[in-house]
């Protein structure tokens, strides 16, 4: 039996002294939400949604939607730790930051994490070689890629080797080659034993206080730009957005739901 979405009235989540209650105005769709829903990771009655913006002492934040029963950003109110909301770093950019710096790993393609990885790497003077579909060449070039190649071109490896013979880091946000953004190091069975494989689930950022102060200024100045967005009205169309993800229709933009 397949999982189903439902719009239900649920109690407002209780808060403690270290948390804030935020009235959600918009929530972004992330692959982790669709994957957790499809696999029923947290069981019946889960509320998903991670990146949100709304009214409160802070205006945006990141939570692990579904982890705590009844708490997720796909709702009118959400509880968040005030230190996390103060960081102003959403899921995609936090994952990119964790991947680039603690783990030192660099296929950008069309993903949100890929876009933030590209911009952060360029900000820190990395020479970035990216692969994507041809329709996104110009977009990634403007975002900081030094060279961009068609990921479906049989000669793509030769082309990359030619422009970057001393390639040091590989970061794959889709098919998971060396540094994976999927927990559990999934799909890594065929990697050579000489390769050090790491994974960077964004939730590792929650286990101690992270503000990433230096990251706030590039966001405010526009040096690092968020994804283009497609806004869908109401939580009732979440299943439509989930299906767009399953069908591979989302490319170089992020779906936002207006609550």
Identify the H or E element spanning 130.
strand 129-132
Instruction: Categorize the per-residue pLDDT at 241 as very low, low, confident or very high, splitting at 50, 70 and 90.
Output: very high
Report which DSSP code applies to 154: T
Instruction: Categorize the per-residue pLDDT at 206 as very low, low, confident or very high, splitting at 50, 70 and 90.
Output: very low
Return the higher-pLDDT residue of 68 and 180. 68
The alpha helices in the chain, defined as continuous H runs, are: 31-38, 82-87, 91-100, 112-123, 137-142, 156-163, 213-221, 238-246
Summarised one tens digit per residue, pLDDT across range 132-176 is 889 888 988 888 889 999 988 999 989 998 998 888 777 766 544
The dihedral region occupied by 252, where left means phi > 0, alpha psi between -120 and 50, and beta the remainder, is left
Q: Give CA separation, 26 vs 22, 161, 169, in Å.
A: 11, 42, 35
Poorest-pLDDT segment among 69-83, 205-219, 224-238: 205-219
Summarised one tens digit per residue, pLDDT across range 104-129 is 444 444 566 777 778 888 888 888 88
Identify the H or E element spanning 129.
strand 129-132
Instruction: Categorize the per-residue pLDDT at 195 as very low, low, confident or very high, splitting at 50, 70 and 90.
Output: low
Cα separation, 104 vs 120, whole angstroms = 13
For domain 91-202, the CATH class is alpha beta
Query: Under 8 Å CB-to-CB from 159, ≥6 apart: which residues?
Result: 149, 153
Cα separation, 77 vs 24, whole angstroms = 5
Q: For the chain, give every domain's residue range.
A: 19-90+226-258, 91-202
Q: Which residues pair with 61 in a beta bridge?
A: 52
Report the predicted TM-score, pTM, of the whole model to 2 decimal places.
0.57
Cα separation, 16 vs 63, whole angstroms = 16
Q: Span 19-90+226-258: which CATH code?
A: 3.90.180.10
Query: Do 149 and 160 meet the contact criterion of CB atoms below 8 Å apart?
Result: yes
The dihedral region occupied by 131, where left means phi > 0, alpha psi between -120 and 50, and beta the remainder, is beta
Return the higher-pLDDT residue of 25 and 189. 25
> Quick one: 218 exposed, middle or buried, by C-beta within 10 A (0-12, 13-18, 19+)?
middle
């Amino acid at each position: 039996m397949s999982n189903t979405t439902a719009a239900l009235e649920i109690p407002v989540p209780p808060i403690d002294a270290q948390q804030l209650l935020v009235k959600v105005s918009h929530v972004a769709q992330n692959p982790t939400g669709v994957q957790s829903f499809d696999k029923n990771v947290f069981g019946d009655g889960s509320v998903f949604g991670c990146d949100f913006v709304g009214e409160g002492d802070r205006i945006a934040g990141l939570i692990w939607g579904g982890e705590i029963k009844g708490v997720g950003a796909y709702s009118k109110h959400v509880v968040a730790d005030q230190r996390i909301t103060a960081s102003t770093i959403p899921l995609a950019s936090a994952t990119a930051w964790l991947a680039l710096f603690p783990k030192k790993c660099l296929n950008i393609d069309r993903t949100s994490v890929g876009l933030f990885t590209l911009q952060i790497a360029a900000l820190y003077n990395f020479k970035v070689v990216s692969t994507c579909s041809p329709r996104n060449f110009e977009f990634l070039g403007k975002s900081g890629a030094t060279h961009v190649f068609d990921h479906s071109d049989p000669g793509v490896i030769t082309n990359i080797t030619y422009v970057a013979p001393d390639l040091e880091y590989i970061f794959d946000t889709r098919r998971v080659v060396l540094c994976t953004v999927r927990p559990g190091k999934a799909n890594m069975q065929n990697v050579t034993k000489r390769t050090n494989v790491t994974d960077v689930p964004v939730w590792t950022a929650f286990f101690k206080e992270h503000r990433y102060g230096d990251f706030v200024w590039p966001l405010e100045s526009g040096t690092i730009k968020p994804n283009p967005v497609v806004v869908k009205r109401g939580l009732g169309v979440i299943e439509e957005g989930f299906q767009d993800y399953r069908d591979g229709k989302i490319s170089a933009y992020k779906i936002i739901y207006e609550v």
